[in-house]
Amino acid sequence: MIKIVQKLLYALLTILVALSLLFFIIRLSPGDPVETILGQKASFDDITKLRSQLGLNLPILTQYKIYLKGLIKGDLGKSIFSGKSISVLLKERMGPTMVLASLSVSISAFLGMFLGIIAGYKKNKNVDKVARLISLLALSFPIFSLAPLMVLLFSIKLNLFPVSEWGDVKHIFLPVLTLIIPLSAVIMRVTRNKYLEEAYSPWVVVCRSKGLSEYAILLRVLKICLPTILNVVSIQLSVVIAGTMITETIFDIPGMGALLFDGIQNRDYPIVQGVIAYSTSMYMFIYFIIDFINEKIDPRTQN
């Protein structure tokens, strides 16, 4: 119980530090949302008046204290441009992001584990060589370059899937495929290496000498590999969340990625802070759950 509380406190501290750094970085970076709203021809009086209304004329430490008080109450503020509550905007946009992230992680985990076990079982054979080559190619393309290639091939050349639409299964295919390719490649390589590490260990030889079937041995090896695989998935979660937002922007999906891009472009501080706050919290929550599951299934932590 004490360990769980410590990890929760660590997660909350991590979120607080990340949001605090973001708060100061975004305000100290070049650009002014007031000038963006009013335009370059706005008078000095109009700019001063709007800055006062938005609270941007206050010292930065005072703004930070106000932000922290709102954060503790669960109030993420309102958009500078639209005046809408950030919580409402997130609720409107989180649906597509959650669909893309959950589908890409679950499919990648299953596919990567399956291919990794097959490649490890068929070590140095054609299946293993092909799987390693494909995974290497998959890791050679970052998401921001892979997504345009998907659009060019499947939408423009082959005309199989639409772009800049949302609401149907065919609209999900390309964005999810873009996210699956690099993530499943990472999981596949880790699974293969961990499988080979365990499959040729002394305890496997003992199990075979006792007459255990290959299927039973495979299940035991997989159980030992699972904590390592889950750790990789948890580490890759930040990449998935960032990749989802990049993918949404490229495919013009109305998710949190598009909302974040608009917020950055318009210097809308509350939107940027709100999206990062939600993303960081979601990452830490899932990481905490995976870490908890790992402790339960990892044989090394069991008496």
Please state which of the four CATH numbers 1.20.1560.10, 1.10.3720.10, 3.10.20.30, 1.10.275.10 is assigned to the domain occupying 98-255. 1.10.3720.10
Question: What per-residue confidence (pLDDT) applies to 1?
Answer: 65
Q: Give the pLDDT band (50/70/90) at residue 282.
A: confident
pLDDT at 266: 79
Domain layout of the chain by residue ranges: 98-255
What is the per-residue pLDDT across 94-116, written as a single tens digit (0 to 9) for each? 888 888 888 888 898 889 988 99
What gap in Å lies between CA 233 and CA 183, rounded to an integer? 8
pLDDT tens-digit series, residues 194-231: 888 888 788 878 888 888 887 888 888 888 888 888 88
Cα–Cα distance measured from residue 140 to residue 251, given in angstroms and rounded to the nearest whole number: 21
Would you state the pLDDT for residue 299?
55
Q: How confident is the model at residue 142 (pLDDT cuts 50, 70, 90)?
A: confident
